Amino acid sequence: ETESLDIGWLKLLNGVFIALLLAFFGIYLLTRMDAFPSLSYPHALTNSGLIIAFVYISFKGVGQYVIADYHNIKLEETEDLVQKEKYATSSLSLEESTRLFREVVKLFNEQEVYLEPQLTIHQLSEQMGTTTHALSQAINSQFGKSFFDLVNEYRVNHVKRLLVDPDKQAFTFLALALESGFNSKSSFNRVFKQHTGMTPSEFQKAHAVV
């Protein structure tokens, strides 16, 4: 997931880091040339700069999970609002709704489109040759849930199969989540708990083969 993440800070960090290295190298050369005989702290400056850089990149990097998760939550809330406002006046026929429903089931079960981390209802509607509004209503009326709820349900079920797969026990929860279409650990944990009432660890222990 890159569209919802702010990675511009990496360019700034890279520039500052290079500038610090050049400055420290200059100080080192000056001390070797005895330009500043009393200057005895170039290593302290270098270490301090590195520590600050590592703290900064760690803080900003971890923050990206929050940004991605907040982005996904806002998309879900927006879609739910659109559904409530538009469906009351929709003219989508039952026949068309059923056709779209069957096609969605086929795409999800056979092609596993939900494994695509960037999947949106707009992309899926284009692939199916219909409108976003028609597809959203068909999913809501036929499945009784929103597009995001449907995608998350399939992803959770996929993770559940991986969690009890003996060949996948060496993988981390994050690796299994990414393999199932989730794009952040925080989003995965939140959605998994909503659908199962358990954390991934609790689910795996409850279904462990004795």
pLDDT in tens, 138-154: 999 999 999 999 999 99
Rounded average pLDDT over 35-61: 64
Cα–Cα distances in angstroms (integers) from residue 133 to residues 54, 82, 139, 140, 143, in the given order: 46, 9, 10, 10, 15
Q: How far apart are CA 41 and CA 34, in angstroms?
A: 14
pLDDT, position 80: 54
Higher pLDDT, 35 or 14: 14
Rounded average pLDDT over 174-198: 93
Q: Is the overall model pTM greater than 0.85, yes or no?
A: no
pLDDT band at 23 (very low <50, low <70, confident <90, very high): confident
- Give phi and psi for 44, each to the nearest 5: -65, -40
Give percent above pLDDT 90 in the chain.
45
Residue identified by tokens 């998350």 is 152
Cα–Cα distances in angstroms (integers) from residue 127 to residues 3, 35, 104, 133, in the given order: 21, 69, 11, 14
pLDDT, position 207: 83
pLDDT, position 182: 94
- For residue 197, pLDDT over 60 is answered with yes
- For residue 106, pLDDT over 50 is answered with yes
Higher pLDDT, 27 or 174: 174
Check: CB of residue 47 under 8 Å from CB of residue 4: no
